Amino acid sequence: MDTIAKLTAGNLRYRETVDRVRLLETAENGQHPCAIVVCCSDSRVIPEEIFSAGLGDLFVIRVAGNVLDRHQLGSIEYAAAHLGCSLIVMLGHTGCGAVAAALSGHAEGYVAYIIEDIDEAIGNVRDPDEACRLNVLHGVQRIRKDFAAHPSIAGIDVQGAVYDIRTGGVEWLAPGE
Ligand SMILES: [Zn+2]
């Protein structure tokens, strides 16, 4: 089966099993996600599954290495100011390829932009797990700083967390960590 056929078959199964009431409810009444989750694009890190969430529950921003640039910040701003989210989560994960690339010092093309941000976050740290946490906390601080004076976002809680790809567990990082 080629990849498009595989995806098409997957969509058919989704349409057979999706909660149709919830589908129409969110289509007609709009989305009211409880949280914004910024996380890596890694295929093993799926916020809706990790948090047992469903349609309309999470506003998810995925980018390799869970880095923040203007597009991600714009997405956060939109969701926080207009959709009523009460929490922003920066979710890193163990075994992150983007963090590993930053640690190895090798990056080409557009990937270099991602690595540049991670380098800034981790400094001289060389332990992958510590680097992952620093990258998450760097994002948390960036969100807090950039929206510190925003009338409708400044009061929203921003939390860092790390997802363990071996256990499926999420560890919440202490604010000052
Ligand atoms: Zn990753």
Predicted confidence (pLDDT) per residue in 124-160, tens digit: 999 999 999 999 999 999 999 999 999 989 889 999 9
Q: How far apart are CA 89 and CA 152, in angstroms?
A: 17
Q: How far apart are CA 90 and CA 75, in angstroms?
A: 13
What pTM value is reported for the model? 0.95
Distance 60 CA to ligand 1 centre (A): 15
Distance 100 CA to ligand 1 centre (A): 9
Distance 108 CA to ligand 1 centre (A): 17
Q: Which two tokens stand for residue 79?
A: 């969701």
Could you tell me if residue 66 is left (phi over 0), alpha (psi between -120 and 50 degrees) or otherwise beta?
left
pLDDT tops 90 at residue 175: no
Distance 103 CA to ligand 1 centre (A): 13
pLDDT tops 60 at residue 176: no
pLDDT tops 80 at residue 1: no
Q: How far apart are CA 66 and CA 85, in angstroms?
A: 19
Q: Report yes or no: 139 and 67 within 8 Å, Cβ to Cβ.
A: yes
Q: Which two tokens stand for residue 24?
A: 């129409």
Distance 95 CA to ligand 1 centre (A): 7
Distance 29 CA to ligand 1 centre (A): 34
pLDDT-based confidence at 102, cuts 50/70/90?
very high
Q: What is the mean pLDDT of residues 103-131?
A: 95
